[in-house]
Amino acid sequence: MRRSLFSLIRVALIDLRGGLQSFWILIACIAIGVATVAMVGAVGASLQSALARDGRLLLGGDIEFRLTHRAAEPAERVLFSGLGKVSEVVDFIGRAQSEGVGVLAMVRAVDNAYPHSGTVETEGEGTLEQQLAWQDGIRGVLVDPRLIDRLGTSVGARIRLGNAEFQIRGILHGVPDQVSQGVAIGFPLLMSTEGLAETNILQPGSLARYRYKIDLTDGGSAADAARLVEQSFGQAGWRISLPGDATEELSRYFALLRNFLTVVGLSALLVGGVGVAQAVSAYVTERQRSIATMKALGATRSRVILHFLTQILVLTLVGIVLGVVVGTAFTLLVLPLLGPMVGIPLTPTIDGPSILSSTAFGLLTGFLFGYLPLSRAEAMRPAQLFRSTESAAGGPGSVNLLLQPRTLLPMLGAVAGLFVVAVADTGRIEVVFWYAVGAAMALLMLRVAAHLLQGALRLLPAAPNAVIRNAIKAIYRPGSAAPAVILSLGLSIALLLLIALVESNLRHQLDPEVRVDAPDFLYMDLFADEVAAFKALAAVDDRIADFTPVPLVRASSFTINGEVPPELQEPPKDLTLYFGDEQPLTYSTDLPYGSRVMSGKWWSADYSGPPLVSVTEDLRALLDLKLDDQITFLIFGQPISARIASFRAYEWQRGGINFPYVLSPGALDEYPISYFGLITARDGTVGELQAALIAAYPELVFVPIEEAIDAVRDLMDTVASAISTVGGVALASGVLVIAGALAAGRRQREADSTVAKVLGATRLDLIASLTIEYGLVGGLAATLAVPLGVTGAWAFISLVLESTFVLDPLLLFLVVPLALLLTVGMGAALTWGALSGRPASFLRNG
Amino acid sequence: MRDARVWSLPVQPETDFTLSSPILEARNVNLLFDSGRSTLTVLRDVSFALQPSEIASVVGPSGSGKTSLLMVLSGLERATSGSVLVDNAEIGTLSEDRLAIVRRTHFGILFQNFHLIPSMTALENVAFTLEIAHPSWSYSDIRRAAMDALAEVGLSARASHLPSALSGGEQQRVGLARAIVGDPRILLADEPTGNLDQTTGATVIELMFSLARRRGTAIVLITHDLGLAARADRTLSMNHGCLREVHTDHRVSV
């Protein structure tokens, strides 16, 4: 048995040495797909394992208690101290100023116990405590180098924050628990809590996060500590995070991104699979006489198929090894660069599971796509092989052959294997299922369309023009590359469109053109007297086109019809940037700008009855809410109930602030209200107004909307770049496959062109014929690719990201000419030898 | 037309083939190709028997069905009706895999276009027959047997050469070595000299006949060449799918 196996492998390898050059496309297709999947998997796994492994480091302690808008009361501090060593950290958005220039800063004030673990990365003299301490009549701060650049100052210089002055003592490169801060608006700045007190920026109710990070005493359980705080101060609205919780949101984003990129990588393998099928098909065609000879010598069907399958699998393995090596090398290069970008230390490691899964993907893809063309040749009778002039692999009866158990079952096994590996890799069975359905539909649609095109052209009456007639005949004649080109080009263009549309949608979310009505500045914590002052200013200052105060109260938690909805583990997305897991509430007489009522009714302007609430459509779907449900908010420890009167849809890109919950007038009158102040500058006065506002209200913090959006845009850019990079690699695979499909028919085309020339055809005739032929094929592929790519992108944006899908008509407009250019250009390049060479030379050389 | 004198072979003792049972027999074989629109009759009611060690030649114009007859006899093509018996066993009802086993145990086939596997050396091409037929043999045994076969056709020195490095005559000799290395009882030769010049063709034919005689192998030789055909124990003629006897010297019913 073993000897037979060795004999089989030995002969297969011997026989392979003559055909290696036919397989560079197969090897490259597998290598590209495997490298992509391996790289995405390894980077994703490294991120996830860093989040899991360094949970305590990234949280900054064993447990964190967090409050927004007030510091811990003395009794709460006593309780925390009893649990272990406490570090107090206050995060807020501030404005650093120097000589009239103001730059938004993500300020973190820390005490001397900070950090419990890890180190603050700085450039400067002395310890962190010394750098932030009072020296020579001034306290120190550490700042991000970009902040220094923006302020146009240097280390050692003085800057102002609120009412206090600080000296820049050094450069801040990062804090160990940076990730748990969330998306940063402004540049990082580190100061001491003593320094914070002197700024006088934070007042009760101000938007700041007070974090108490506790290094538990030995034997202390984080769960026990959490329970104790909940029991003692359950109504105070403390948020409790354990290691892992801090990075939960980030982990979810990474998982989402990784899943998408894995799907793109799998698409690369799918397109590559078409290349595998073409390469095997071409190889089998080339070797059909050898197959016949083997059968004539007495080789059984199984022997023939094992012989060639061994060869295909060996070549697939070569591709896999190449892919794994390239993917791993790229991963090792990328991880050290990626770490600082996401604020997580990423050690370059080789990820075994990613290598295993990408290997499995490669092997299964190679088998799945190579098996059918092999089976076609294997199923043909040897005498047919001796006679057949068309491709044995693409011969008639392929559907019947596919439906035969001995063909279908192994292929179904490979599909099931791919499905299992994909589910194991992504952990998202529904995503994999729908992707598989989509991919199968795409393959089927393109295959059937190619068949229909050939059938339709065959039925057409002969064209009066010989060039057109020849071009049309070339599409449906036996052995035509048209079906393969339509399949590979259609898939490639669909993939290109999908990636381009996803990327354009991500960027569109933050496109300044979309936010035409957005205000320019946002004051985050205004009190009633400050609102009055701004109103007065707006009345006299021509540069202010509009000032709108928006009342705001924060609820620490809420219940629906008396119960805590389990879905609340998912915080509403809209304003998590500003509020994290707090629920921001406002009231309004009028329907907010940019909103429209989808169901229920907006209250009348003079409504004064029991509290009503209007909720966004997103939350209705997320929390399964219905009209007339009672929502009870906990505000400053006091419950307030409101009946749902309407649901609203909102386009956040259009400006303003979307509050998930808008209450009826009077509902929040009993509570201390702060305001968001939205200021719109007149055209061309933004810079001037900004400087004037800083000068007029130095103690107030405002966010220039563009800067805030920039922070998110940076993040989106990183995501979009990752998608583009992976997408680009996937497309390379597509181009290779198209080249392969065209190259497969090259010999025949050269022969045809030569004969045509011998018979008197000019080069122009040949080029015209080729352009018409590939134009028809490319046009059909592109036309089919558009709905495929758009559907895929819509599914990802709408269903997975739950965002509004926007179709960029320019992309659609570009697809068809791109496809035509690609096919005609590559077709011409590959047959250039026949078009430009002398017929005699080709005829002599055969 | 080739000169018949070129094919002068050693005189063989006459054998009475009627005394033994045929090693290969076709009974009322018809072969039709249905193209959907029309049906082409390739073989019409062909009956034929080949005795062990007998050499039969089949002549006829191109397209007369000679190669198709050879395909049907070897099980490479299935007859539309009628039966083919190898060693008194009907092969028409056998599965493809059983047919493959019959071929490897009973037949050696020599093609006009040689059909050597281009990626394999001469030795590997010959060994390949044994790799298929005897997968459990050690490679050294296979190699030795293949080398012996190459030696028999005088190509030991060319064992490591790829087909592309061999002349047409040499390629056909490798084909012959491959055909006889499994010691088949029947050798089917489809115009083995069709692609060779007269001298080279004569060498190959002489070699084939002498090896067959020595090993007691029966031969069905397809050829256009009447002179060559005459060297066989008997000659059959194929025309429009019908097979009939040309020589009546040997008592074989057609």
**Per-residue pLDDT tens digits for A219-240:** 678 888 888 888 887 666 677 8
Q: Write the Ramachandran bin of B178: left for phi over 0, alpha for psi from -120 to 50, otherwise beta.
A: alpha
- How confident is the model at residue A652, as a pLDDT? 52
**Residue A381 sits at the chain B interface (C-beta within 8 Å):** yes
What is the SS3 assignment for A242? coil
Task: Measure B150 CA to nearest chain A CA, in Å.
Answer: 17
Q: Give the closest of B100, B107, B124 to A299, CB-based.
A: B100
Q: Does residue A215 carry a pLDDT above 70? A: yes
Order of strands, sheet of B218-223, starting from the edge strand that comes earlier in the sequence: B107-110, B186-190, B218-223, B55-59, B234-239, B242-245
| Percentage above 90 pLDDT, chain A | 9
> Alpha-carbon distance B128 to B116, whole Å?
10
What would the mean pLDDT of A694-707 be, rounded to a whole number? Answer: 71
Query: What pLDDT, in 10s, does the model give residues A373-416?
Result: 888 777 767 776 555 444 444 444 567 777 888 888 999 999 99
- How confident is the model at residue B148, as a pLDDT? 94
A143-152, A484-493, A560-569, B80-89: the lowest-pLDDT one: A560-569
- How confident is the model at residue A556, as a pLDDT? 66
pLDDT band at residue A735, thresholds of 50, 70 and 90?
Answer: confident
Q: Does residue A725 carry a pLDDT above 80? A: no
- How confident is the model at residue B175, as a pLDDT? 93
Q: Does residue A313 carry a pLDDT above 70? A: yes
Decide which of A244 and B9 is more confident.
Answer: A244
Query: What pLDDT, in 10s, does the model give residues A529-554?
Result: 888 888 888 888 888 888 888 888 87
Query: Using omega within 30 degrees of 0 as the cis cutoff, is the peptide bond preceding B163 cis?
Result: no
Q: Does residue A449 carry a pLDDT above 70? A: yes
Q: Which residues of A touch B109 (CB under 8 A)?
A: 296-297
What DSSP designation does A185 have? S
What is the SS3 assignment for A141? strand
- How confident is the model at residue A657, as a pLDDT? 63
- How confident is the model at residue B248, as a pLDDT? 46
pLDDT band at residue A729, thresholds of 50, 70 and 90?
Answer: confident
CB A448 within 8 A of CB A483: no
In a domain, B91, yes or no: yes
Count: domains in chain B? 1
pLDDT band at residue A317, thresholds of 50, 70 and 90?
Answer: very high
pLDDT band at residue B20, thresholds of 50, 70 and 90?
Answer: low
Between chains, do B136 and A3 touch, taking CB under 8 Å as contact? Answer: yes
What is the SS3 assignment for A510? coil
Element (H, E) at A172: strand A164-174
Between chains, do A10 and B97 touch, taking CB under 8 Å as contact? Answer: no
In a domain, B254, yes or no: no
Tokens 């019913």 -> residue = B253
In a domain, B96, yes or no: yes
Q: Which of B78, B131, B171 to mutate to test the interface with A (most CBs of A within 10 A)?
A: B131
Q: Give the closest of A18, A299, A303 to B119, CB-based.
A: A18
Tokens 């006949």 -> residue = B209
Q: Does residue A839 carry a pLDDT above 70? A: no
What would the mean pLDDT of A633-654 be, rounded to a whole number? Answer: 77
Per the prediction, chain A carries an average pLDDT of: 79
Which of A724, A676, A575, A630 minimizes the C-alpha distance to A36?
A724
Backbone φ and ψ for A139, nearest 5 degrees, come out as -90, 160
Q: CATH number for the domain including B204?
A: 3.40.50.300
- A with B: how many residue pairs have Cβ under 8 Å apart? 92
> Alpha-carbon distance A176 to A308, whole Å?
55
- How confident is the model at residue A393, as a pLDDT? 43
Range of the structural domain that residue B240 is part of: 17-245
Between chains, do A381 and B138 touch, taking CB under 8 Å as contact? Answer: no
Instruction: Give the chain A residue nearest B180 (alpha carbons).
Output: A297
What would the mean pLDDT of A438-466 be, rounded to a whole number? Answer: 86
Token pair recorded at residue A763: 């080069």
CB A109 within 8 A of CB A191: yes
Between chains, do A301 and B101 touch, taking CB under 8 Å as contact? Answer: no
Q: Does residue A575 carry a pLDDT above 50? A: no
A121-125, A155-159, A247-251: the lowest-pLDDT one: A247-251
What DSSP designation does A656 have? S
What would the mean pLDDT of B139-168 be, rounded to a whole number? Answer: 91
pLDDT band at residue A192, thresholds of 50, 70 and 90?
Answer: very high
Q: Does residue B252 carry a pLDDT above 80? A: no
Which of A37, A345, A376 minimizes the C-alpha distance to A177?
A345
Element (H, E) at A640: strand A638-650
Beta partners for A672?
none
Between chains, do B128 and A290 touch, taking CB under 8 Å as contact? Answer: no
For the ranges A360-364, A377-381, A454-458, A481-485, the one whose mean pLDDT is highest: A360-364
> Alpha-carbon distance A594 to B145, whole Å?
88
Which of B126, B113, B101 minimizes the C-alpha distance to A295?
B101
Q: Does residue B191 carry a pLDDT above 80? A: yes
**Residue A838 sits at the chain B interface (C-beta within 8 Å):** no
- How confident is the model at residue A122, as a pLDDT? 85
Q: Give the closest of B103, B111, B139 to A298, CB-based.
A: B103
Beta partners for A584?
A554
Give the list of residues 6+ apart from residue A787 with CB closer than 8 angstroms, or none.
none
Instruction: Give the chain A residue nearest B107 (alpha carbons).
Output: A297
Between chains, do A297 and B178 touch, taking CB under 8 Å as contact? Answer: yes
Query: What pLDDT, in 10s, does the model give residues A576-633?
Result: 333 345 677 888 888 877 678 888 999 988 888 899 999 888 778 777 788 998 888 8
> Alpha-carbon distance A569 to A564, whole Å?
10
In a domain, B128, yes or no: yes
Element (H, E) at B58: strand B55-59
Give the list of residues 6+ apart from residue A159 with CB closer than 8 angstroms, or none.
A96, A97, A98, A141, A143, A151, A153, A165, A166, A168
Max Cα–Cα distance, chain B, nearest Å: 54
Q: Does residue A570 carry a pLDDT above 60? A: no
pLDDT band at residue A65, thresholds of 50, 70 and 90?
Answer: confident
pLDDT band at residue B84, thresholds of 50, 70 and 90?
Answer: very high
Q: Which of B97, B128, B137 to mutate to test the interface with A (most CBs of A within 10 A)?
A: B128
What would the mean pLDDT of A474-501 be, rounded to a whole number? Answer: 82
Q: Which of B95, B114, B115 to mutate to test the interface with A (most CBs of A within 10 A)?
A: B115
Q: Which of A297, A308, A311, A378 to mutate to test the interface with B (most CBs of B within 10 A)?
A: A297
**Residue A292 sits at the chain B interface (C-beta within 8 Å):** yes
β-strand pairing of A612-616 with A638-650: parallel
Decide which of A730 and A184 is more confident.
Answer: A730
Q: Give the closest of A16, A289, A300 to B115, CB-based.
A: A289
Tokens 């928006």 -> residue = A550
- Report helix angle A482-508 to A248-286, nearest 10: 170
What would the mean pLDDT of A797-807 be, rounded to a whole number? Answer: 76
β-strand pairing of A138-143 with A187-192: antiparallel
**Residues of B contacting chain A (CB within 8 angstroms):** 68, 71, 74, 76-78, 96-97, 100-105, 107, 109, 111, 115-120, 124, 128-129, 131-133, 135-139, 162, 178, 182
Give the list of residues 6+ apart from residue B83 with CB closer than 8 angstroms, or none.
B26, B27, B28, B29, B90, B92
pLDDT band at residue A519, thresholds of 50, 70 and 90?
Answer: confident
Which of A68, A145, A147, A141 minimizes the C-alpha distance to A707?
A147
- How confident is the model at residue A509, as a pLDDT? 63
Q: Give the closest of B104, B116, B119 to A298, CB-based.
A: B104
pLDDT band at residue B253, thresholds of 50, 70 and 90?
Answer: very low
In a domain, B4, yes or no: no
> ipTM, 2 decimals?
0.78
Domain chopping of chain A, boundaries: 1-57+250-427, 61-245, 544-681
- How confident is the model at residue A518, as a pLDDT? 65
Token pair recorded at residue A275: 């290349």
> Alpha-carbon distance A782 to B78, whole Å?
45
What DSSP designation does A799 have? I
- How confident is the model at residue A571, as a pLDDT? 46
Q: Does residue B100 carry a pLDDT above 90? A: no
CB A475 within 8 A of CB A454: yes
